[in-house]
Amino acid sequence: MASAATSTTPEAEGTTFAQRAVILISLTFVTMLYTMTVMIANVALPKMQGTFAATADQIALVVTFNIVATAVMTPASGWLASRFSRRSLMFWCAVGFTGASFLCGIAGTLEELVFYRILQGGFGAPLVPLAQATILDTFPRHQHGTATAVFSMGVVFGPIIGPTVGGFLAEELGWRWVFFLLVPFGLIAITAILIVIQDRRRSAQMRLDWFGFLTLSIAIASFQFMLDRGQRLDWFESPEIVIEAGVAALCFYLFLAHVATAEKPFLNLSMFRDRNYAIGCTIMFLFGMILWTPMVLFPPMMADIQGYPEAEIGVFMALRGIGTLVASVVMAFINRWFDPRVLLTIGFATQGVAAAYMGGFDINLSPFALAWTSLLAGFGVGFIWVPITLITFRTLDKAYMNEASAIYHLIRNVGSSIFISVTIALVIRSTATGYTEMAPFVSIFSDATSLLGLRGDWPTDSTTALAGLGAEIRRQASMMGYINAFYLYAATCFAIIPFVFMVKYRRAEA
**pLDDT 10s digits, 112-137:** 998 999 899 889 888 888 888 888 88
pLDDT-above-90 percentage for the chain = 14
Instruction: Please tell me if the domain spanning 17-204 has the same topology as the one spanning 271-510.
Output: yes
Instruction: Say whether pTM exceeds 0.95.
Output: no
Q: Could you count the other beta carbons within 10 Å of the beta carbon of residue 311?
A: 11
pLDDT for the residue numbered 251: 92
- Cβ contact 179:104 at 8 Å: yes
Position 98 scores a pLDDT of 92
pLDDT, tens only, 32-46: 877 777 667 777 777
**pLDDT tens digit sequence for 325-355:** 888 888 878 877 888 888 999 999 999 999 9
At 457 the pLDDT is: 58
d(CA 133, CA 29): 15
pLDDT value for 456: 54
CATH number belonging to domain 17-204? 1.20.1250.20
Is 60 exceeded by the pLDDT of residue 51?
yes
Query: What is the secondary structure of 466-493 as a DSSP string?
Result: HHHHHHHHHHHHHHHHHHHHHHHHHHHH
Short-list 110, 126, 7, 131, CA closest to 72: 126
Query: What is the reported pLDDT for 452?
Result: 44
The least confident of 222-231, 444-453, 483-492 is: 444-453
Q: Which distant-in-sequence residues (6+ apart) come within 8 Å of 315 by Cβ? A: 164
State the average pLDDT over residues 378-405. Answer: 83
288: nearest Cα among 163, 420, 391, 125: 420
The string of pLDDT tens digits covering residues 257-277 is 988 888 777 777 788 888 889
Where exactly are the structural domains of the chain?
17-204, 209-265, 271-510
Q: Is the pLDDT of residue 3 over 70?
A: no
Q: CA-CA distance, 124 to 225, in Å (whole number)?
A: 19
Q: Which CATH superfamily is domain 271-510 in?
A: MFS general substrate transporter like domains (1.20.1250.20)
pLDDT tens digits for range 133-171: 888 888 887 777 778 777 877 777 776 677 677 767 777
pLDDT for res 350: 94
Q: How confident is the model over 384-389, as a mean pLDDT?
A: 85
pLDDT band per the 50, 70, 90 thresholds, residue 490:
very high
pLDDT in the model for residue 346 = 92
Taking only the tens place, the pLDDT of each residue in 454-467 is 455 566 666 777 67
Q: Which H helix or E strand runs over 324?
A: helix 310-334
Position 2 scores a pLDDT of: 38
Whole-number mean pLDDT of the chain? 81
pLDDT the model gives residue 245? 92
Q: How confident is the model over 81-103, as a mean pLDDT?
A: 88
